[in-house]
Structure 1
Amino acid sequence: MTTHVIPQSVPHTNRQTLLVCFLAALAGLLFGLDMGVIAGALPFLAKEFGLNSHQQEMVVSVMMLGAALGALCSGPLCSRLGRKKTLLIGAALFVVGSVGCAFAPDLQMLVISRFLLGAAVGVASFVAPLYLSEIAPEHIRGSMISLYQLMITIGILAAFLSDTAFSHSGNWRWMLGIITFPALILFAGVMTLPESPRWLMMKNKNALAQKVLMLLRSTEAEAHAELEAIRESVKITQRGWQLFRANSNFRRTTYLGVLLQFMQQVTGMTVIMYYAPKIFAIAGFASTEQQMWGTVIAGLTNVLATFIAIGLVDRWGRKPILKLGFSVMAVCMALMGYMFFIGITSLAQQYTAVTLLLIFITGFAMSAGPLIWVLCSEIQPLAGRDFGVTCSTMANWIANMIIGATFLTLIDNVGSAGTFWLYAGLNVLCIILTLLFVPETKNISLENIEKNLMAGLPLRSIGSSL
């Protein structure tokens, strides 16, 4: 039992493992940059190409379409080519899409390039958390997958700052094209990564899997123990859809993964980030400069609060942090709704509304933001991991599109107060769902989680020690 006392293991984490995880998490930086950069570039694009509202929506939404299709294709690619090569394809798409956007001569080329960037985002959102879950040892797995979410938040903040810098000259081509440079760094970094030992074992490349584990684990004994656990896991011969049809236990975690991604989106964080300037305007900040700097502050809060998750996820566990985060978000949404209901008229009320907004962002960034990706990568059995993560990642993008497309309609039909109260209620629902279905996976190996699942334990118990 002493070999599983995690505090003793943390100081001996292999530095090579940390470097590999950092390079893989860079995919999140590109994800965040591409998600955030269009907000500042869109007004200048609309002016240069004479875009109407529908065409502007197309420029923004085609990326979501590309992301959904990129995520859908990632499962088969990951299964056939491996995690590393699929991530390399994503990095290449980031480069091609960024260059295409920077030099786009017309709307058609811009839309095609944005679609390619979306496909890259979809691949990154699928492969990076999956790869990190399979590379990192269990005592730092949560923080390493959370590192990916941190990179997303840094990317969004960098995009906001970049847009602000280039907005003075109106140079939208540099706004969109500057992403090429980190994309090239990602491509070069991925070239140096080892393949996932779990994928190698599924392909009967046992010697290579052992070599990777010897490189990434602190001791030879630790590497051999993990290798034996993976060897037991790969004995399941059914894969993906076939396993989903045949095995009710795998269907349970697939549905849980989909549910978790919908829970992440219905918190309301998506609309906060997409429509931050609009929300600041509702709160009484009238000038564009106030709204843009408010958005930057929101992005900075998102980055800083993600460090809370990285620091606590492998100490406190996934479930306590999720319950705390959903509770904070529910309270903030309810209070913001009340403020909009009574009317924001004074400067003190404006700053109170902004404070509540920033506390809400903190609640999300320390909980549902990173931890949903952590859990979705952990709960799926090895034989069905590609399929299960495909389903949950697709669910994220579908929910993302639904939430993004309905927020302004809700504001128009039920008012600002009613909309924020609705999201408060959805966060309360998320607390209940967390209590009922979400397992605690802290310090438990992926293989132990899989054994508990296949033994038929309730979903909330599959993270128990064997």
Structure 2
Amino acid sequence: MEISSTHHHRYYVFLICFIAAIGGFLFGFDTAVISGALPFVVKRFDFDAIMEGWFVSSAIFGCIIGVIISGKLSDKIGRKKVMVISAGLFFLSAVGSMFAMNISELISFRLVGGIGIGVASMICPLYISETAPARFRGTMVALYQLAITIGILAAYFSNAYLLKIAQTSHFAGWLQFVFVDDCWRAMIGIGLLPSLLFWAGLVFVPESPRWLIQKNKIESARHILQKIDSDNAQKEVNQIQQSVTKHEGVLKELFSPSYQRPLLIGLVLPFLSQVSGINAVIYYGPSILDKAGFTLGDAFGGQVSIGIVNVLFTFVAIFKVDKWGRKPLLIWGVLLAFLALLFIGILFSLDYTQGYWILGAILVFIGSFAFSFGPVCFIIISEIFPNNIRAEAVSLATLSLWIGNFFVGQLTPIMLKSETLGPSVTFWIFAGMCLPALWLSIKRIPETKGKTLEEIEKYWQTTKF
């Protein structure tokens, strides 16, 4: 019976974390779907490089808004309700973008979708970290990153399939308009399906027990913790209550000497993860591969290869992050990413970009990112902050991530098309951004595997900067 009970608890934890991770799927899908739609939108509206960058970055600007509001909102109304809001914003963005008739409407709905992404990128890993038991918390949070990579891959397959339909099919009425004449509309609009799935799944998800204890709803929290881990439920309740009553719960506490180090990690690591160039490859993959000599059809095929590698190597983090730890994955992944980016820049500088060398180097970079920067960054920022201010602190850390993402999205097309910089210098800049991340991983980030959130909180109070 004990084994059966343990399996039941794990199944329940996996189910609720899996549903929360669908927010990551929407994040990945909405982010990557632009890579396929972008060439057609640019042609349809005759964008220059600056307008192309703004079209991509408008959603990222929305993400920044979403992250800013999500911390206080989730503290006020709860983690679950904020996830529901996120699903609704995704749905509205997909439908609105599909039927947008001018640039203003299109960018407005991309902005709405960006707010949804920003909210999901903060609240979903936070919810998972507050719900999953310490012994496999890293694995559960890594599910969120896996969902992002599956969403990216699904967007690539979806884009390629819809492009094929546009090239070979004929419809009547609005179907012709959406699927053939402007196939980018179908590429973006199909995101309404997973948003509805996320919305429906959230019916089965309980509120975060740590949020409930913050609101003095002890019995409700104990009931949920009994379902998650009956053996340690009362111990968890006691630890969380002690943590909640010990601290003021105001954001200024994060700037106290005890939390200077987690603040440094939380602000710098997410930013560096983005300026390493990951989303330059996600957003502008077809453009980069086109410069490498691939045709548009081949470029989409290359994007699918990128997506498959992204998914497969995320499984390394899922299976090993709670065994090997956060630090080893981060250090080796960042080092390999640096070497791959350096090599990509060399290939472009030597004009040795015909064939599959460039694609292979990009795949090494993607694989390195997928088992390190991608999942481990979300794991770390969701577990290093104290209970009472975790939501707002994670909001700050995620804001840093999206600010880095915004600059990459806005500047990459300009750098790629620049006569002074071009692809080679662009990738060398991305490589240089990996070096401070490597230093941070070695010197400042502690190992947190197997520790409860409350034990991590105590660690900062007894450790010097």
TM-score (norm 1): 0.90
Residue type at the aligned position of 1:208: S
Q: Does 1:183 align with 2:195?
A: yes
Question: For 2:349, what is the secondary structure of its paired residue?
Answer: helix
> 262-271 or 62-71, which moves further after superposition?
262-271
**Partner Cα distance (1:355, 1:11) in 2:** 41
2:372 alignment partner, one of 358, 367, 385:
367
Structure 2 counterparts to residues 26-425 of structure 1, below 5 A: 26-48=22-44, 55-168=51-164, 169=166, 170=180, 171-217=183-229, 219=230, 221-244=231-254, 247-285=256-294, 287-344=295-352, 350-411=355-416, 412=418, 413-425=420-432
Q: What's the CA shift for 1:387?
A: 1.7
1:462 match? none
**Partner Cα distance (1:426, 1:40) in 2:** 27
Q: Does 1:18 align with 2:14?
A: yes
Residue type at the aligned position of 1:279: I
Q: What's the CA shift for 1:427?
A: 2.0
**Partner Cα distance (1:405, 1:85) in 2:** 32
Question: For 1:139, what is the secondary structure of its paired residue?
Answer: helix
> 405-414 or 153-162, which moves further after superposition?
405-414
Q: Structure 2 unaligned runs (5+)? A: 167-179
**Partner Cα distance (2:331, 2:76) in 1:** 38
Residues 57 and 410 of structure 2 are in contact (CA less than 8 Å); yes or no, is this contact kept in structure 1?
no
* RMSD over aligned Cα atoms: 2.1
Q: What's the CA shift for 1:408?
A: 4.1
Q: What's the CA shift for 1:263?
A: 2.2
Q: What's the CA shift for 1:65?
A: 1.2
1:348-397 deviation line (CA, Å, top 9, x unaligned): xx322321211111000011111000000010011111121111111001
2:450 match? 443
1:383-415 deviation line (CA, Å, top 9, x unaligned): 111121111111001011122333344443234
Distance 1:422 1:296, change over 3 A: same
Residues 90 and 123 of structure 1 are in contact (CA less than 8 Å); yes or no, is this contact kept in structure 2?
yes
Q: What's the CA shift for 1:118?
A: 0.6
1:406-465 deviation line (CA, Å, top 9, x unaligned): 33444432343333333333323322221111111111110000011123x146xxxxxx
**Partner Cα distance (2:59, 2:379) in 1:** 24
1:26-72 deviation line (CA, Å, top 9, x unaligned): 00111111111122223444555565655544432221111100000
Distance 1:336 1:43, change over 3 A: closer
Residue type at the aligned position of 1:88: V
Q: Structure 1 unaligned runs (5+)? A: 1-8, 460-466
**Partner Cα distance (1:271, 1:420) in 2:** 10
Residues 100 and 113 of structure 1 are in contact (CA less than 8 Å); yes or no, is this contact kept in structure 2?
yes
1:452 alignment partner, one of 421, 441, 459:
459
Residue type at the aligned position of 1:63: A
Kindly, what percent of the aligned residue pairs are identical?
38
**Partner Cα distance (2:424, 2:116) in 1:** 37
**Partner Cα distance (2:343, 2:129) in 1:** 37
State the aligned residue count: 443
Residues 333 and 424 of structure 1 are in contact (CA less than 8 Å); yes or no, is this contact kept in structure 2?
yes
* Larger relative contact order (Cα-Cα within 8 Å, sequence gap ≥ 6): 2
TM-score (norm 2): 0.90
Q: What's the CA shift for 1:312?
A: 0.8
Residues 149 and 306 of structure 1 are in contact (CA less than 8 Å); yes or no, is this contact kept in structure 2?
yes
Residues 250 and 384 of structure 1 are in contact (CA less than 8 Å); yes or no, is this contact kept in structure 2?
no
Distance 1:440 1:237, change over 3 A: closer
Residues 240 and 385 of structure 1 are in contact (CA less than 8 Å); yes or no, is this contact kept in structure 2?
no
Residues 334 and 438 of structure 2 are in contact (CA less than 8 Å); yes or no, is this contact kept in structure 1?
yes
Distance 1:135 1:400, change over 3 A: same
> 121-130 or 30-39, which moves further after superposition?
30-39
Distance 1:21 1:401, change over 3 A: same
Question: For 2:246, what is the secondary structure of its paired residue?
Answer: coil
Q: What's the CA shift for 1:326?
A: 1.0
1:108-128 deviation line (CA, Å, top 9, x unaligned): 322222111111001000100
Distance 1:138 1:109, change over 3 A: same
Residues 267 and 326 of structure 1 are in contact (CA less than 8 Å); yes or no, is this contact kept in structure 2?
no
Q: What's the CA shift for 1:144?
A: 0.8
